[in-house]
Each structure stands twice: as structure tokens, then as C-alpha cells.
Amino acid sequence: MSLNDTNPFEAAMRQLDLVAEELSLDKKIVEVLKHPNRVVITSLPVKMDDGTIKVFTGYRVQYSRHRGPYKGGIRYHPNVNLDEVKALAAWMTWKCAVADIPYGGSKGGITCNPKEMSSAELERLTRRYTSSIVRDIGPFKDIPAPDIYTDSQTMAWLLDTYSEFQGYAVPGVVTGKPISVGGSEGRAGATGRGAALCTREAARHLGIDMNGATVAIQGYGKVGRSVAQVLREMGCIIIAISDSKGGIFNQNGLDPVKVLEHKKRTGSVVDFKDSTYVANKDLLELDCDILIPAALENVLTEENAPRIKVKIISEGANGPTTPEAGAILHKKGVMMIPDILANCGGVTVSYFEWAQNLNRLHWTLDEVNQKLEQKIVKAFNDVLEISTKRNISMRLAAYVLGVSRVAEALGVLGLFP
């Protein structure tokens, strides 16, 4: 199987089947959980800078509102398609349940290549997309956030457009926005911090010293760069980092801050001084203690899984491991911290941001990071306990926790009519 021919929604549903079997879930509940509540597909005509008009396709999939309002990011990427957005929306549902925050799950996306678009074009695209889903989102309905190739600026345009439609400022409609318009301290680095905290807990459980532990990181976007910095603060040695253009390697360690400066200056981590080149696929197979896939889906497959050498994998990205690869790695004894646990720090601080907005509060960075650590340590240990008690992988255990919480909510809510 090649890298990207796994349909992510089918993979998500195969995972759900495994959980349903493990939990002996009522078939009627499984049937409901296998369908998103609502899917919005919208055509987005945008005036390009050269005067032409391009029509993009946008999606918003509202998967489940059983535990609270829909919640999930918006992705801008050439590969965005309905099945991917559906899978990501299902994962958000289980993720919010694992993190034990009062949300359902959703996801949005636009098929586009933001790297080839100007900021003005991206702004027009974002505002048009927002206007097309303006009736579907809201602080008590569905709360978007950043995802791949969207950021706090994207959220500011979304917030402004939504507020313009309402006639007043509605900061709680999006999270991950700039601090000047109601964003939270610590949100930008929250996903990476959460993945690093999960890694620390896993290392503690396995008796691995974080001081001197070696790490490879695939992806140097919002998640990769913050996980690198926090792991380095914890004493780890970051020996390899990559982005979509390729990777860099230095057995003695790379300085994450200097690598970031280099990337900001040149557009990529490649050619960073004192490093040798490593291809993205080889980075995954390096001989080190910890691997953080923090880019796209389906990078760990049944083809490369047998060659993976690390002791801990913490999934900063959503869906980087195919179910087949997950089974192989679990059998090999690799401690896999699954995406819905490893990267739930982002949506957890999104929840803090939303709670601050609704209460007109602003917490300090220390308060945010402390609350985040409490949530992550609790979620990690809840999953570890299920994994140990049932003698199942951490992935299956995380799904057992997430899906059972959603199923419980569905059970008490019942069906309308």
C-alpha cells in the first residue's frame, strides 16, 4: 500500500469497529456513531489577485454534538476532501471525550494550496467560507479553530466576518485567535506542549530518562516546533527535524529555536548549519528513543512499520499511523501515544480560551499551562489504566475511553423523535 491510498474515513470506521467489539457496544449506537450528523459542502468563488475567479470547495462536517457543541479546526490543503474531513471530525469527537472537555466533534477544510496564494487571496477565501457557514457555526453551535495551514490570522478573519453578520463581537465563535481579540495565552504552543507532556508520562512509565533521550520530529509547523522546544526544556536531544521540503540530522542535537529562525528566514529547515540532510521517510526509521510524527496522515504504514526503531511514538499529527501499522508497532512493543490523546492539548486550551471568552476573563500563561498539565496527565493515566487493565494497546484504550463517553451521552440523550 502506498502512502496516501488509505481512505482516512474507512480507517476511522475500522478503528470504531474494533472499539465496538472491545466494548460489546450496542449495534444501534455503533450505527449512529458511524455517521456524521451534518455535512456542509460549499462552492467558494474568489477573486484572485490577477483578476481571474477561482472556485474552491469548502467543507464543514459536524460529526457529533452529544457531549456538547461541535468543535474542530479548519484545514487548508490541496488534499482536503470529504472523506478526510469526515475522518478528522470523527477523531475530534473521540478526542474531546478523551480530554474530557464538554464538546462534540467537527472539522472543516478547503481544498486549496495556501502556499501559492497571497495573503489577500487567503483573506477573501476565508471570509467567503465563513459567510457560507455563518448559520452553522456559533459559540454554542460549532466552534472552529486552526489546523494545517491555518493560523491565528485565519481565525481573526473568521471572527471578524462572523461578528459583522451578527452586528456585535462574538469572540467565543472561534478559538486559536490572536490574544488581542480574545485569544488565550499558551494556545499557540498547546498541541506541542500536550504531546511533550504525554511523552514525559510515557517515558516515566517505561523507566526512560527524558534527560538525554533522543528525538526525531517529522513536521515543523505549529505542533512540531512547540513539541521540540518543550522536549528540549525537558532535557531531550532533538536529533532530526523535517518539513515538507526534507529533513535535517545531527546526532549531537539541533537547537529548535535556531532551526525555527532558519525556517522562517529560508522557508524550510533544510540546509540548517551543522546538520546533514535526511529524507522524510528515512527520518521515521532513525535509531532513537522518541518519534513525533507531526505532519500528515498515513506516514506510518505496514510497509515501514517493521523498520521503526523507537521506544515511544507520540502522534502530534492526526492519523499518522494506519491501523495495520499500529498493530505491527504495538506487537513490537513500541509505546504508541495515539493522536486523540497525544495532540489533545490544542483543543484543551481551545476549551480554556472559549471558557475565558464566555466569562470575559483572561488567564495568565502559568494558569493555562498548569491547567493543561493537569488535564493531560489525567487523560494519559486514564488511558494507560484502561490499556493495562484490558491488556490492549494505548490506541485502542484511548478509543475505548473516548467512544464509551460519547456512547454514554448518546444513550442518555436517546433519539429524536
Q: Report, as residue numbers or ranges, the catalytic residues.
A: 107
Q: Which is nearer to ligand GLU, 262 or 405 (CB)?
A: 405
> C-alpha 292: how far from its chain's center?
13
| CA–CA dist 10, 113 (Å, integer) | 25
Q: Which is nearer to ligand GLU, 73 or 247 (CB)?
A: 73
Query: Which helix (H) or strand (E) segment is 100 a member of?
Result: none
**Number of residues that this document lists for the chain:** 417
For residue 212, what are the contacts with CB-CB under 8 A and spacing of at least 6? 235, 236, 237
The minimum distance between CB 148 and ligand GLU, in angstroms, equals 8
| Residue ranges that bind ligand GLU, judged by CB under 6 A | 71-73, 145, 147, 175-176, 318, 343, 346-347, 350
- Strands (DSSP E) found in 52-169: 53-64, 70-77, 105-111, 142-146
Q: Which is nearer to ligand GLU, 192 or 326 (CB)?
A: 192
The minimum distance between CB 350 and ligand GLU, in angstroms, equals 3
Q: Which is nearer to ligand GLU, 289 or 297 (CB)?
A: 297
| CA–CA dist 415, 169 (Å, integer) | 35
The residues that bridge with 155 in the sheet, in sequence order, are none
Q: What's the order of all strands across the beta sheet hosting 105-111?
A: 38-47, 53-64, 105-111, 70-77, 142-146
The minimum distance between CB 413 and ligand GLU, in angstroms, equals 22
Name the one residue in this structure whose C-alpha cell is 466552534.
143
Q: Which long-range contacts (CB under 8 A, 24 or more apart) does 167-171 make?
A: 170/138, 170/139, 171/357
Q: Which is nearer to ligand GLU, 151 or 255 (CB)?
A: 151
Phi-psi region of 391 (alpha: psi -120 to 50; beta: other; left: phi over 0): left
Query: Which helix (H) or strand (E) segment is 246 a member of?
Result: strand 246-249
Query: Which helix (H) or strand (E) segment is 41 a member of?
Result: strand 38-47
Helix residue ranges, H only, 267-393: 280-283, 323-331, 339-342, 344-358, 365-390
Q: Which is nearer to ligand GLU, 72 or 189 (CB)?
A: 72
DSSP state of 66: S
Cell of 83: 472523506
The minimum distance between CB 259 and ligand GLU, in angstroms, equals 23
Radius of gyration from C-alpha coordinates of the chain: 20
Query: Which helix (H) or strand (E) segment is 43 a member of?
Result: strand 38-47
The minimum distance between CB 182 and ligand GLU, in angstroms, equals 14
Q: Which is nearer to ligand GLU, 109 or 256 (CB)?
A: 109
The minimum distance between CB 82 and ligand GLU, in angstroms, equals 17
| CA–CA dist 241, 295 (Å, integer) | 11
Are 313 and 321 in contact, with CB atoms under 8 Å apart?
Answer: yes
The minimum distance between CB 175 and ligand GLU, in angstroms, equals 5
> Nearest 5°: phi and psi at 67?
-100, 0
Q: Which is nearer to ligand GLU, 176 or 326 (CB)?
A: 176
The minimum distance between CB 273 and ligand GLU, in angstroms, equals 32
